[in-house]
Structure 1
Amino acid sequence: MSALSDLQATLDPSRRSWVESANHSTNDFSIQNLPFGIFSDARNSARRAGVAIGDEIVDLDALQAAGLLSVAQERVFAHDTLNDFIALGRDAWRSVRIQLSDLLARDTATLRDDAALRSAVLVRQADAQLHLPLQIPGYSDFYSSKEHATNVGSMFRDPKNALLPNWLEMPIAYNGRASSVVVSGTPVRRPNGQLKLPDQERPVFGACRKLDIELETGFVIGSGNALGEPIACEDAEAHIFGMVLLNDWSARDIQQWEYVPLGPFNAKTFATTISPWIVTLDALEPFRVAQPVQDPQPLAYLRHEGRHAFDISLEVKLRPQSASEASTITRTNFRHMYWTMAQQLAHHTVSGCNTRVGDLVGSGTISGPTADSFGSLLELTWNGKNPLALKEGGTRSFIEDGDELTLAGWCQGDGYRVGFGPCVGEIQPALK
């Protein structure tokens, strides 16, 4: 078989694994998925690379040491980030996926029938700790949902001219702080900053009063570009290793005061949470769909043929500290995004800006066309005017201390799921 046909076999919807939990249609980590992450466990405290399959993690370093995984670089999976593996390039990523898919397939006896080998290379997810999967050299965040931009423009400017003239011409973005990107499960402290209250002439200093989420995805740069050499739009997806869920926590009151004229700063820098598993673009390929029609037609450097959106269902749950059950506060879909990942990367580099392996690029808040599909509390409550009712009583206009927010995302196939796992953060009180 050719490499392309081998890759296609990994996406076969009928393929099943001898890891039975992977065969449940609602388990995020089917054999068609095989996302990469970094983990440790009680048996081995060293951080190392793994792949999720059902309720298990495949220890890639142990698998390579056992001679069952052929990779160009020795012990590349023993590192505490995925950067060195990613830097091997797309052929290496695909080769590892193909080898793993074959080893984990139901009819392959190599691991299935060797209890000692299975014990050496499989770790239960429940027994593992997941870590930030990357060293992130740089982080940029886009603003690419037309629905979100229209809502915000209507709220704070003129509803008849909600989108600024440049919005339909290019993907708008700002450069964020890579240093404060954290992995799911890391507590997030409410930020302090300057607040401009409507009844006071000068700002006051204090804890954010309008803390919010931004339901986003992010993509990871797998192959960078040299300074001064842009990435063409039609080539951009080949530079992307995979995707994560991303919550760009936002202090709306700090943001409203500081963002003119240069955009958000302290309102965004305090934390950005990502999911621990990186889902490859290859795993997402069966869920490729057409992006929204763009009018006016973008300039030539932002044009690409074909379908460049993905059918990824997204939702957010909020659980107050005192509640036993979370409330689902929004459901939407990545396919609504106006500007594609390829267009974002092409625009990011058109000036000659270089990107590096492990760079993280956020999609921007993902909002759908209906009031229950908005991607932030700012929109869902219309800046606090329409509080959300929670399942066990009480309401929320914005996030309160002790609240736990969980982002989820998945593509649903025929009897299998390609998901990201949870992206969780709990809010701690501001420093006094």
Structure 2
Amino acid sequence: MSRPLVDFTHDPERISWVPGANGHNDFPVQNLPLGIFSSANMDRRAGVAIGDKIVDLRALYESVVSEDARAILEPVAYVKELNSFIARGEHPRIALRHLLFRFLTENPERLIEQTPLDSILIAMKDCTLHLPVRINNYTDFFAGVHHAENAARRRQIPGGQFPNYPYVPIAYHGRASSIRPSGHAMRRPRGQFRIADAPEPVVGPTRKLDFELEFGTWIASGNELGHPIDIRDAHQHIAGYCLSNDLSARDIQVWEAQPLGPFLAKNFGTVVSPWLITPEAIAPFRTARRARGPEEPAVLQYLDDTADAASGGVVVNLEVWLSSRQMRSAEIPATCISATSTRELYWTAAQMIAHHTIGGCDLQPGDLLGSGTISGTVPASGGSMIELTNDGASPVEIGNGELRAFLEDGDEVVFVGRCHRQGFASIGFGECRAVIH
């Protein structure tokens, strides 16, 4: 199968008849992300975002007059999660994208004669957005190179970098059961941690609750146990992308991660943006993977591929917005406390997939791979509070003059991600919003 290419669905001159869709910050007709939604009078079903509306794919399937269109829509018409559809691979996904693009930019009556459009287009504000897939497994990588460098400096690692970092895409297996869609209220976790040089740990709510700005990859078809995925084929196993907030309890993490990795500090909650942004939508925003400096070792063969080196990266501009309960009560806008980009990722999604499966691990449709925290090179581009505030030593100021060393109860964190490129319509990911209780 070929890598997703730029085609007629990326034409910035094509406009939609859907009110408000043209020039929409996130969901113009050039995006068409997949998701699962419900409303007061509708059970869970598949939909596609267009502007501030959702195309109800079940209603569209039941309204189309073309047998070819019915065949394209049938695999997704009655699903309550997208696992079975994304497991089919890229061809059904591309066919659905092409069908929807034509439907939303041409005379809709060609496809749905005598069907009221308001029975197919649902206002997003009237809907509840769910996780797009059933997540069986979650792996969190450590691919944000500047985050890794900052972590190495805090640990006083010689050379300011972990010695294995240039060779291996480091990761740990996270907790899939505690992943929730955007808007979820996360309860402050409890656990063991040690205060300063106290001789014994205490048990209580974390005092250092943090966010982690991450880029998520949804797995499509997966592989059989014992059969690794070659990096040259890894793109075939990507169903789409999302934003992810992998919340962390830093004080618990420091105490428990000796000598093993994260446990209670990371298993209590991860929040993801609910729309699956397809590889086809991302095609114009591909870029070369991060170039290595002369002092860095060459990429090992199983992680190297000419095509992935040329276009395995993707450019998404990322922002973190924070508001307190007091700010929202006073109707004070949230404060942007960080801005960075997926350009800062050391490893591509294809490299993560190739490494994840080299030992024979079987990925499954709907598995989620997190990039790890994405930070930039300057303090204001930190992808976590521990970096933005130097572990709480230099708190950041938010809109009403309050200071934040770490997240406090009532705080709301919103991640925003958008793709821009001259000559193409900009697209976005929708919000990844988490509220702390």
- Superposition TM-score, scaled by structure 2 size: 0.93
Match of 1:209 in 2: 207
- Does structure 1 retain, via aligned residues, the 8 Å contact 2:6–2:284? no
Partner SS, residue 233 of structure 2: helix
- Shift, 1:114, TM fit: 6.5
- Shift, 1:112, TM fit: 9.7
- 1:12–1:72 Cα change, 3 Å: closer
Match of 1:244 in 2: 242
Match of 1:121 in 2: 120
- 1:13–1:347 Cα change, 3 Å: same
Match of 2:104 in 1: 104
- Does structure 2 retain, via aligned residues, the 8 Å contact 1:386–1:397? yes
* Aligned: 1:417 with 2:415: no
Partner SS, residue 325 of structure 2: coil
Letter in 2 for 1:419: G
Q: Which moved more, 1:301-310 or 1:12-21?
A: 12-21
Match of 2:178 in 1: 180
Selected match of 1:164 from 162, 165, 170: 162
Match of 1:308 in 2: 312
Match of 1:95 in 2: 95
Letter in 2 for 1:337: L
Match of 1:18 in 2: 17
Selected match of 1:58 from 51, 55, 58: 55
- Does structure 1 retain, via aligned residues, the 8 Å contact 2:253–2:265? yes
Partner SS, residue 22 of structure 1: coil
Partner SS, residue 326 of structure 2: coil
Letter in 2 for 1:150: E
Letter in 2 for 1:53: I
Residues in 2 aligned to 1:229 and 1:393: alpha-carbon distance in whole angstroms: 55
- Structure 1: 5+ residue runs without aligned partners? none
- Shift, 1:190, TM fit: 0.4
Counterparts of 1:215-234 in structure 2 under 5 Å?
Answer: 215-234=213-232
- 1:4–1:110 Cα change, 3 Å: farther
* Aligned: 1:386 with 2:390: no
Selected match of 1:366 from 371, 374, 398: 374
> Per-residue CA shift, 1:86-143, capped at 9, x if unaligned?
12221101100010001001x3342799784312211011111111111011000000
- Shift, 1:5, TM fit: 11
- Structure 2: 5+ residue runs without aligned partners? none
Residues in 2 aligned to 1:6 and 1:289: alpha-carbon distance in whole angstroms: 13
Residues in 1 aligned to 2:4 and 2:152: alpha-carbon distance in whole angstroms: 47
- Shift, 1:185, TM fit: 0.8
- Does structure 2 retain, via aligned residues, the 8 Å contact 1:210–1:398? yes
Selected match of 2:339 from 293, 307, 331: 331
Match of 1:79 in 2: 79
Letter in 2 for 1:304: D
> Per-residue CA shift, 1:232-261, capped at 9, x if unaligned?
112111110000100000000000011121
Residues in 2 aligned to 1:4 and 1:157: alpha-carbon distance in whole angstroms: 41
- 1:10–1:292 Cα change, 3 Å: same
Letter in 2 for 1:214: E
Partner SS, residue 152 of structure 1: helix
Partner SS, residue 81 of structure 1: coil
Match of 2:358 in 1: 350
* Aligned: 1:134 with 2:138: no
- 1:113–1:27 Cα change, 3 Å: farther
Letter in 2 for 1:143: F
- Shift, 1:157, TM fit: 2.2
- Does structure 2 retain, via aligned residues, the 8 Å contact 1:182–1:273? yes
Partner SS, residue 259 of structure 2: coil
> Per-residue CA shift, 1:236-292, capped at 9, x if unaligned?
111100001000000000000111211101100000100010100110010011221
* Aligned: 1:317 with 2:305: no
Letter in 2 for 1:320: S
Match of 2:46 in 1: 49
| Length, aligned pairs only | 422
Residues in 2 aligned to 1:256 and 1:345: alpha-carbon distance in whole angstroms: 28
Residues in 2 aligned to 1:265 and 1:6: alpha-carbon distance in whole angstroms: 40
Letter in 2 for 1:162: G
Partner SS, residue 169 of structure 2: coil
- Does structure 1 retain, via aligned residues, the 8 Å contact 2:5–2:283? no
Match of 2:290 in 1: 292
Q: Which moved more, 1:304-313 or 1:270-279?
A: 304-313
Match of 1:145 in 2: 144
Letter in 2 for 1:348: H
- Shift, 1:4, TM fit: 10
Residues in 2 aligned to 1:15 and 1:89: alpha-carbon distance in whole angstroms: 27
- Does structure 2 retain, via aligned residues, the 8 Å contact 1:27–1:416? no
- 1:4–1:405 Cα change, 3 Å: closer
- Shift, 1:29, TM fit: 0.2
Selected match of 2:270 from 254, 258, 272: 272
Partner SS, residue 298 of structure 1: coil
Residues in 2 aligned to 1:64 and 1:330: alpha-carbon distance in whole angstroms: 42
- Superposition TM-score, scaled by structure 1 size: 0.94
Percent identity of equivalent pairs: 45
Letter in 2 for 1:66: S
- Shift, 1:8, TM fit: 1.0
